Amino acid sequence: MSMQPLDALVLVSLGHGAGMALLVGATSGVVLVLKSIFDFTRTGPEMAEEILAHYRLYLAYSLGRLFAFAFSSPLSSPTWVFWPTS
């Protein structure tokens, strides 16, 4: 069984669409993380600047951990779509 020209066109179009979706998702994710860092607000009483400086570093650390875990998970890989179900 050989691929027909229409099959190749469909596969190429799906590849371009997946690439564009990945680009939009990555861009949206980066914008959201940057907005979260720059517009970080908190409720409650005012805290000392020394504590806030330490907390900001921990925020960056925890966001980095979340990012690393999200993209090292097997479900974040596009190959999970092709895993056999039975």
pLDDT at 27: 92
Helix then strand then coil, in percent of the chain rounded to 5, is 75, 0, 25
Helix 49-72 × helix 5-38 angle, to 10°? 170
pTM (2 d.p.): 0.48
The pLDDT tens digits for 31-67 are 988 888 788 777 778 777 777 777 888 888 888 888 8
Tell me how far apart the alpha carbons of residues 28 and 24 are, in angstroms, rounded to a whole number. Answer: 6
Per the model's pLDDT, the better-predicted residue between 81 and 44 turns out to be 44
Q: What are the tens digits of pLDDT across the range 14-34? A: 989 988 998 998 899 889 888
